[in-house]
Structure 1
Amino acid sequence: MKAKTIKGESIGVIETELITALSDGFSPNLAFVFLSIEQDIDKLTNLLDSRGIQIFGATTEGGEICNSELDKNSISILLLDIDLEDFKILIEEVGNQGLKETTKSLAQKALKTLNNPAILVSGSGAWKDYNLEKIVNGFKEVLDSDIPVYGGIAGDNLLLQESFVFTNNKKGNHAIIIIVFNADKIELKGVSFHGWNSIGTAKTITKSSENIVYEIDGEPALQLIMRFGGIQKLPDNLYDIQTEINHSLMIQLLREKGEPIMRGGVVNMQDMSLLFTGFMPEGAKIKFCLLPDLDTIDETVGVIRNFKEEEMPGPDAILLFSCTGRQISFGPEFNREFKEIYSVWSRPIAGMLSQGEIGKARGGDLELHNLATCLVALKEK
């Protein structure tokens, strides 16, 4: 498998970069495309389609990753030449059936498409159905646990209005897209890591409904978080409220098996509840986490170096999904994470800042993550 990355701040730059990439006889038939919501999706897909290149695309949550760099309002593309029989791109509108049933439908098609599948996934329209864990549960109900599934949720530069996933002839603002690889020919392995350390004792969710938490340890959820985070008074607007909460305490959901996972919450001022991206069942145990220090970047890179040594010493290409919340937490140092990840292999990397990350937790099951980095390595056998 040959792989190249191209990037640009406009379709015109991408067209020039594409011509250069193909000038040595390179003939890709697959493109992973990550682009800002401000870019022209239709124009870009027409450009790639005219070259006979199939597209797996998603809009980003405020950042596009290409090799060691993170840009904004740009386009990042990973170009691959893979036997056409070894992959298939599928996309479905969510519609009235919901995230879980749409994912189940795609997973069933994946099993019929290839005997030994490995799957990458993205979804759009998170704010139309905020419980994104339903995507994960859809896969779990259909696929064996040893089938790899990784990916990231599309965004829209934190506007929280409309995101897209797309392929050559179709795009959707409330849709799920998967690419199914033939795992007999294409090796796909991934690793997910967040690095947040918990503090204090575990607390219990005492009142919730699916992904909405009303009470923790018998106390209104927002009230308890304000108390433990030392927040005396909330700001007037929702954006500043969200920033204040996220800069004070984050929530970690404990699992019976594997590492705990992070959960991002949105404040509902009307009833002091918190809306999360995944299920938060009554009786579940949580812990609070302070913002990480910069050592977390070093820990993340260390986990990826171990992944290289133990799982994937020489990939042909890499995809990277990193939560936009990490950028908020790490500030200017965030770019160092990408530079150091790239140095692990110095192979072509493309990816995006995402609204949620999908992959197996270390030592655990397939999960929807928040505040995590999810790296996926591809190698032709």
Structure 2
Amino acid sequence: MKRVSILGSTGTIGVKALAMIDLHRDSFEVVALAARDNIDLLEQQIRRFSPRIVAVGTSKSATILKDRVKDVPVEIGWGDEGVLSVATAAEADIVLSAIVGAAGLLPSLAAIKAGKDIALATKEIMVMAGELVIAEARARGVRILPVDSEHSAIFQCLGGQNSCEHLKRVLLTSSGGPFRQRPKGSFASITPEEALQHPTWVMGKKITVDSATLMNKGLEVIEASWLFSLTPQQIDVIIHPQSIIHSMVEFMDGSILAQMGVTDMGLPILYALSYPDRLQSPLPPLDLNALSALTFEPVDHERFPCLGFAYQALQAGGTYPAVLNAANEVAVDLFLSSRITFPDIPALIAKTMDSHQGRKIDSLEDALDADREARRLVLAALQT
């Protein structure tokens, strides 16, 4: 029986994780949940899974929730302190980190320091402070189990290892997003509603826009470098519109292993939570006979420059990945609120990267300082 804490229980990943857990009550117990302010859904989760600790975003939400579940024996906190109590819950064996963006860094590091294994769905944690996170995990003997479908695929192809001396490179696959074939000249007219129509995956708003710009793949490149001890030159991205092969690993002798599966995050979530075991999935099997073709094509870097920015940040190291991540988060928010156009996203990121003076990251505060600085630089660039 694995006891699970979930950071981000009302988001897309958290909801899917609880659905998988619900089908395997003999294998999992939910001990703590953290969400933002979706009180209606969180109340349903409390009544269904009986966690001992719950955290929400604000004191107002905590007050409302306490009144609603006063008949249930649960401790309810709020804000940073509340989230940290969920991340470090004494009963938890594994923490699913699924809080979107930079906000997931502090509780995830706290969970690692508390000796909890991490099922990692928030790639921004590794992008902002990968070196710190990996060092802390090694020092505490904590396993970081990837939840992203691409990194889960690499992990599976490597036989459950985070590195391999015989590995030549990894190939991260990308669907290409909703604008793979759209003329670049029309990008300025792309609406948030169009950007949120992903062709193969159902995801949250931020990651869906990141998939449309290919920044999501760029963040995955940085995450993969830390998770699997890879140089930038060992990580390639290839467009695979069908999203059936989730990633591939090429070995020194030329052999390539690929992991395939249906396009549903339930599979990598369940694998991360159950590792090293495999549990029965409720999802339909992949019907190979129904596949008309599996195709591949190179990335058009001119149309999608965000991927190149990620390689540049990874190569530069230090604070640059954290700045890249923060600039992208702000730019995506501005786009979703219709304050900037789709091409403005990479333009603002480029301006921010050019304005930043890189430095080493020796502590968590260094990463957070870089994050805050980048957010200021983006808003300053918006005025120019």
The verdict on a shared fold, with TM-score over 0.5 as the criterion, is no
TM-score (norm 2): 0.28
More strand by share: 1
TM-score (norm 1): 0.28
Higher relative contact order (CA closer than 8 Å, sequence separation 6+): 1
More helix by share: 2
